[in-house]
Amino acid sequence: MSWEYVKGNTAFHRLDPRVKFLFWATMMFLMVAFFDPIWLGCVLLILVAICMWTGIPGRAITYLLKVSAWAWGGYGLFTAFSLYSTAVHGLEELHVLWLVHLPWGAVFPLTWEGTLMGIRACIMVWGFLLSLRILTMLTPLRDLSVGFAKMKMPPEFAITIGLAISYVPVLIDENEKIQQALQSRGWEFGGANLWKRAKALLSQMLIPAIMGSFRRARFLAVALESRGFSYNIAGRTYVRELKLKKNDYIALGLIAAAWVFGLYSGQWFSKISSVTFTINLLKKAGIISTL
């Protein structure tokens, strides 16, 4: 399952897998802490810069956005048109961007706040997926599993979590192959009709994907048992012993600083990174008007 590992000799490649896992957890934390799309965009740019620095192919990023478009697109639209979401975050003053005229005569205001929070939702989903891709593409599965075990996690859980994380890109690739095989046999995707597209995906792609997952899980179980995985787990030794080096400690310092900065400027304390940051910029530019 480490088929997609991108070889390299950068400082990020040489980091301890435990530090890489903490980096992924930090990116997830920042995506939740920051509510302003500008601040989240900066975090996303850091992830893209890491991809370019470490040699991750650009097609891996674009394909990830393509296959997850239904998730981040739907979530972003739902958030953008949700006045409730703006009220939840204490945005009492709303600013109209566009008045949507509904077929039955009602008028629904699309606000700047809702739009910015919709953009924030899209960026947040992108960040979640991209940070996970960075973790899986720059860390071999064996190192990831050993890293979890060294974090005092039971070996059974360590190998399970490692397999689960690394299986995400495998599942994406397998679904793409199933779709290509169906299309080569004249499969109709459903066109622009969302209901037909969903029905076609569930009826013709979901079952092969589930069966393929069961088959792969059976092969993995046989492979683990044939290597004596369940024998004397408590006394297990490792071919590669992980030790933190100078670069790891520097990375841990940067991670700690990111957590402190995220806690201070995030939604729980000073709220510097709230959506009002962009709203105030738009007010100064004279672009928005009060509802």
Strands 96-101 and 107-111: antiparallel
In this model, does residue 101 exceed pLDDT 50?
A: yes
Structural domain including 238 reads 17-284
Q: Predicted confidence band at 3 (pLDDT cuts at 50, 70, 90)?
A: very low
CA-wise closest residue to 31 among 22, 42, 15, 19: 42
For 188, counting Cβ atoms within 10 Å of its Cβ (0-12 exposed, 13-18 middle, 19+ buried), the class is exposed
In this model, does residue 217 exceed pLDDT 80?
A: no
- Answer yes or no: is 134 within a domain: yes
pTM above 0.85, yes or no: no
Q: How many domains does the chain have?
A: 1
- Answer yes or no: is 8 within a domain: no
In this model, does residue 56 exceed pLDDT 80?
A: yes
Which segment, 33-47, 142-156, 157-171, is predicted with the most confidence on average? 33-47
- Answer yes or no: is 1 within a domain: no
- Answer yes or no: is 232 within a domain: yes
For 130-148, what is each residue's pLDDT tens digit?
998 898 888 887 788 778 8
Q: Predicted confidence band at 19 (pLDDT cuts at 50, 70, 90)?
A: very high
Q: Predicted confidence band at 254 (pLDDT cuts at 50, 70, 90)?
A: very high
- Answer yes or no: is 172 within a domain: yes
State phi, psi for 80 to the nearest 5 degrees: -65, -35
CA-wise closest residue to 289 among 111, 81, 96: 96
- Answer yes or no: is 49 within a domain: yes
- Answer yes or no: is 6 within a domain: no
- Answer yes or no: is 5 within a domain: no
Between CA 170 and CA 180, with CA 174 as vertex, the angle to 5 degrees is: 150
Sign of CA dihedral 260, 266, 271, 277: positive
In this model, does residue 100 exceed pLDDT 70?
A: no
For 219-230, what is each residue's pLDDT tens digit?
877 877 787 777
In this model, does residue 232 exceed pLDDT 50?
A: yes
